[in-house]
Amino acid sequence: MRKNRIAWRGPLGKGAILCGAIFLFLGLWNSAAWPQAAPQDPAIERGHKQFQQSCGFCHGPDATGARGPDLVRSPLVAHDVKGDKIGEVIRLGRPDKGMPPMPLTDPQVLDIAAYLHARADEALRSARVPSEYPVEKLLTGDPEAGKTYFNGTGGCKSCHSPTGDLAAIAAKYSPIDLEARMLYPRGKRTIAIVTLPSGEQIKGPMVHADDFVIALRDDSGWYRSFSRDRVKVELQDPLAAHRELLDKLTQADVHNVFAYLESLK
């Protein structure tokens, strides 16, 4: 017996590019926070057509840039969740850069976001970066300054410890992988807590969310979906602090914190 099945739609699913090597990993936290859609997902197909019609004349038919910038490796696309950042730019435009606002509907925005995330994921998968990327090309920061930031302004010590979860972290990952994981951590999924009208609560990893539906897997492993207008929803994002920090990190902070983590062997 199967419970509450609905059709999947995703991904729609977050700063500046802080280090030259890291742009190849821009999809990582979005992949963790938002399930990837299959290439045949109808939302991606619709989004591709809508993008070509509304955006392709500036950003190219494949989103790699023309008169406008490349969106495949755009930080805005990488940090977007459910079209929140993409939608804002589409609706408001960027008049100072010659981009007019687009009167698109919410479903059209979500489809375009799905297409752009699929393109970014495709670029990520096609990238080839040697795992033994020379550490001297990355190790340009001050480890002591990184330690100070870690224990102070960055607030990292509230969740991490150099003698706990980060013990010997530099020995576990190659330099480029360590820096990517530092900026775009993965593996922790958003937890959804759904409260039914009866007061019953159902909790589990979120597998889908949009303006109309929230879906999760409950303790028994069942896929459960609910209309958002009929339930109360609370989302617990274990990576929220990392996403907030991305917009605050300077390039010096990135290099310094990485130098500090690379010293933990």
> Residue 110 above 50 pLDDT?
yes
Is residue 107 predicted with pLDDT exceeding 50?
A: yes
User: Minimal CA–CA distance to 34: which of 180, 190, 183, 193?
Assistant: 190
What is the DSSP code string of 124-157?
HHH----TT--GGGT--S-HHHHHHHHHTTT-GG
Rounded CA-CA distance 236/107 in Å is: 25
Number of H helices, E strands in the chain: 11, 5
Question: What's the whole-number mean pLDDT along residues 101-116?
Answer: 92
pLDDT given for residue 130 in this prediction: 54
Instruction: Give the pair of three-digit tokens for residue 253.
Output: 């902070």
Region of 93 (left: φ > 0; alpha: ψ -120 to 50; beta: rest) is: left
The size of the chain, in residues, is 265
Angle formed by the axes of helices 143-151 and 251-262, nearest 10°: 100
For position 144, what pLDDT does the model report? 95
- Residues 95-108 have a mean pLDDT of 89
Cβ atoms of 48 and 115 closer than 8 Å: yes
Return d(Cα 118, Cα 105) in angstroms, integer: 20
Amino acid at 141: G
Question: Which residues does residue 202 pair with via DSSP β-bridges, in sequence order?
Answer: 194
Residue pLDDT, tens place only, 218-256: 988 899 999 999 999 999 988 888 878 877 888 889 889
Domain residue ranges of the chain, discontinuous segments joined by +:
20-126, 135-186+241-262, 191-236
Least trusted range by pLDDT, from 46-55, 79-88, 107-116, 123-132 = 123-132
Distance of CA 9 to the CA centre of its chain: 16
68 pLDDT higher than 50: yes
Q: Transcribe 150-181 into DSSP letters.
A: HHTTT-GGGT--TTTTTTTHHHHS-HHHHHHH
Contacts with 7 (C-beta within 8 Å, 6 or more apart), sequence order: none
Handedness of CA 51, 112, 97, 95 (dihedral sign): positive
Q: Higher model confidence: residue 6 or residue 90?
A: 90
User: Could you tell me the fold of the domain covering 20-126?
Assistant: Cytochrome Bc1 Complex; Chain D, domain 2 (1.10.760)
* Residues 191-236, CATH architecture: Roll (2.30)
